[in-house]
Structure 1
Amino acid sequence: MVGVDSTPVDVDLALVGGGGAASLVLAALVRHGVRGLRIAVVDPVHRRGQDRTWAFWGQPGSDLDDALAASWQQVEVATPAGRRVLDLTPLRYAMLRSGPVYDRAAEAERHLGAIRIRAGVDMLDDDGDRVAIRAGDNPVARARWVLDSRPRPPSRPGRTNWLQHFRGWWLEADGPLFDPGRAVLMDFRTPQPARGVSFGYVLPVSSRYALVEYTEFSPALLTGAAYDAALTGYRRLLGLDPARLTVREVENGVIPMTDGPFTARPSPRVVRLGAAGGATRPSTGFTFSAMHRQADQVAAALAAGRPPVPASAYPRRHLWMDAVALRALDAGGVGGPEFFDRLFARNPAERVLRFLDGDTTVAEDLAVMRSARLAPMVAATTGDAVARLRDRLAPSRRRPWAVPPAVADSAVTADPAPTDGRG
């Protein structure tokens, strides 16, 4: 352990921020057999235990399988019109809690001989050859490459700036109450806000233990009392008797949903990962799968002697589609429950999930686009094109985005469905 007042260390690779993104990188370095690198982890907090939950989809058989808290081959999407049961084969929906991820990272640190520096970083001074990492006026390390996963707002405000915000209760029942074979992915029977989309979901770990969560996509946060009231209402909607339940844990989170760009490489030898590096899908908030891909790409590059620069998290056409979808939702031309219901009704579930993960072909993207009602999407597409042209002609007219502290400081404790924040 190195402190702020210690002599700065020279390393090949520094991970600034020690949360989920850095933890996945450390484990991937071991998995890819990276050897001989001097590595430092710089973070004022040493993360341990269950402080967040991620949910994501993918093929069984990954390196994460033995760390999962639960997984489901079937999920439900519910609207006031009825319930839709989706078979995800060959994919599965999975839940990963932070404890095993942090444990793997700690073991990887020992295996790699990494140095942990307990300091908050105030400046990264990149001269093109090495990066000076400073806490206040004190240089704490110098590195050939820096992987920076500290949360930050987009490099410029988006045309649409929403938030995905949520609160979840880990509920323990006094007897069998939940179906561990099926998760509720999105339940739109919740009261819908005047501007935005709300839904609940249920992720059962066993017949007696489940994460029950309330989520909103909207421009502004709620009060704590409002989240609790929404969760109480959703528990009632599910028919769960509070006398049979005990709240064991509470999770809260805020994820930006914006078409504002995130700069993945702010200087020659600084690479941003996680949400700061564009891993959050703007239209859904899902983050984990892209974060996991970034870690694997970074480790593979280092093992091959290449710069640790991952590919873009999502294709550019998907980011454009996200911008249009956000504009349509923000304008009220598309209702959230209707939008997602049509998406799953008119496409195989596996295609929808791969689309949300940025892994579909152009032909599949066109099929997904045809799922939405034409008129409001044409209006949103036209509005997006006009806004982009206006920004090019007069970029200074763009208003700054006031990022809520919870987003600026990164309080993402769960990656909710359908976002990678329960990713």
Structure 2
Amino acid sequence: MTVGVDVDLALVGGGGAASLVLAALGRENLSGVRVAIVDPVHKRGQDRTWAFWGTPGTALDPLLSASWNAVDVVTPAARRTLPLSPLRYAMLRSGPLYDLAGDAEKRLDAIRIAAPAGALTDDGDRVVVSHPDGTPLVRAAWVLDSRPRRPARPGRTNWLQHFRGWWLESGRPVFDPGRAVLMDFRTPQPPRGVSFGYVLPVSDRFALVEYTEFSPAVLSGDAYDAALRGYAALLGLDLATLTVREVENGVIPMTDGVFETRPSPRVVRLGTAGGATRASTGFTFTAMVRQAGRIAGEVAAGRPPLPGPPYPARHRWMDAVQLRALDRGLVDGVAFFDRLFDRNPAQRVLRFLDGTTSLAEDLTLMASSPLLPMARAAGGDALARLRRKR
């Protein structure tokens, strides 16, 4: 098999996960590392928004559209304002990240191959990335593959985080730029699942207002729009005086299925395909940032670009139990999240969702959840695991 392009590292896919890796590689003082990107589309501009929490002072700070030191969690009974210090909640739109990745691509003198990728043929020494028609595109020592794919082993519980957001613009001040809404559970709840709205204001006249569900199936476009109109009314917004500047949609898997993060010796999967999506919520971005930083550090040190597990094994188990409890109706979703934030500091909950809490903190979080229903869910999960092994 003859391949004209030979590199050290090939990125297959050019979305958020690959862009974060490129940006991280660009921050390292790399010399002689040959990089290629294989993707039919060169990502540019605004096609998505990431909202995440973390400690200020990162390399992504100059790219942020907004950040908040406190957030609101709202239920039909109460509104809580949660201080986040030393963390903060932040918004990053895709355009600045794609631009940063593009700058890094130039500094690295990376090769861009504008074609879809098909098979990855790994002989244990090099990997050949081929076009779907079988034509070889590039040969690499290592391949980082961020293309979406299903779990290698189907989950016992399979839900989705699915959403639609409107970027709303007003001719007069209607938003509070100092106040973000993390979760607003006053939305009508689905028969099976959890719904909430949230608000991320960039200024007093421009904000992202979004409707999100954790549930087994997506809605129709009309249903998302109806939900957003209803949520806007709850917020006291008069849509007749506002302009919808952009619309964002998304569907993210929430599953206890197992993703194959290392399908062959020299192929590493990133993003959702690499297990970066938190099964209990669908949150992904912070784990992708960690993956990118670890990969860049390993490459700079002359070691294999292996990011390590995105979450501790105990967190994957806790997620599976929570999903099962929600799916089987053992707990009420709104009451579950309300109790979690009521009985724990916001920082602990958010760090758990990021996969950075200690074992002691995890035990405290478990003790603050409804014990009998969660014990039933844990028992059911253990039984399901045993049955699958037979």
Give the TM-score normalised by the residue count of structure 1. 0.91
Identity %: 72
CA distance in 2, matches of 1:278, 1:34: 27
Are residue 91 (structure 1) and residue 84 (structure 2) matched? no
Select 1:385's aligned residue among 357, 373, 382: 382
Partner AA of 2:290 in structure 1 = R
Q: Helix, strand or coil for the counterpart of 2:203?
A: coil
Give the equivalent residue in structure 1 for 2:203.
Answer: 206
CA distance in 2, matches of 1:108, 1:330: 43
Q: Helix, strand or coil for the counterpart of 1:341?
A: helix
Are residue 119 (structure 1) and residue 112 (structure 2) matched? no
Select 2:170's aligned residue among 155, 173, 190: 173
Give the equivalent residue in structure 2 for 1:20.
Answer: 16
CA distance in 1, matches of 2:3, 2:113: 11
* Higher relative contact order, chain-length normalized (CA < 8 Å, sep 6+): 1
Number of aligned positions between the proteins = 388
Q: Helix, strand or coil for the counterpart of 1:61?
A: coil
Give how far 1:34 is off: 1.9
Partner AA of 2:251 in structure 1 = V
Q: Deviations over 1:229-283 (max 9, x none)?
A: 0000000111101122100000000000000011111000000011110000000
Q: Helix, strand or coil for the counterpart of 1:205?
A: strand
Give the equivalent residue in structure 2 for 1:229.
Answer: 226
Select 1:9's aligned residue among 5, 24, 49: 5
CA distance in 2, matches of 1:34, 1:92: 31
CA distance in 2, matches of 1:374, 1:29: 45
Q: Is the 8 A contact 2:26 2:105 kept in 1?
A: no
Give the equivalent residue in structure 2 for 1:59.
Answer: 55
Select 2:192's aligned residue among 181, 186, 195: 195
CA distance in 2, matches of 1:171, 1:30: 34
Q: Helix, strand or coil for the counterpart of 2:226?
A: helix
CA distance in 2, matches of 1:110, 1:59: 29
Give the equivalent residue in structure 2 for 1:331.
Answer: 328
- RMSD between aligned alpha carbons? 0.9
CA distance in 2, matches of 1:86, 1:32: 36
Mapping 1:235-384, distance limit 5 Å: 235-384=232-381
Q: Is the 8 A contact 1:34 1:299 kept in 2?
A: no
Are residue 108 (structure 1) and residue 104 (structure 2) matched? yes
CA distance in 2, matches of 1:327, 1:151: 24
Are residue 74 (structure 1) and residue 64 (structure 2) matched? no
Which runs of structure 1 show a deviation greater than 2 angstroms over 4 or more consecutive aligned residues? Answer: none
Q: Helix, strand or coil for the counterpart of 2:361?
A: helix
CA distance in 1, matches of 2:4, 2:328: 51
Partner AA of 2:23 in structure 1 = A
Give how far 1:8 is off: 3.2
Give how far 1:96 is off: 0.2
Q: Deviations over 1:76-124 (max 9, x none)?
A: 0000111010000000000000001000111111100000001111100
Partner AA of 1:132 in structure 2 = V
Q: Unaligned 5+ residue runs, structure 1?
A: 1-5, 394-423
Q: Is the 8 A contact 1:264 1:271 kept in 2?
A: yes
Give how far 1:7 is off: 5.9
CA distance in 2, matches of 1:159, 1:7: 42
Q: Unaligned 5+ residue runs, structure 2?
A: none
Q: Helix, strand or coil for the counterpart of 2:148?
A: coil
Q: Helix, strand or coil for the counterpart of 1:158?
A: coil
Partner AA of 1:179 in structure 2 = D
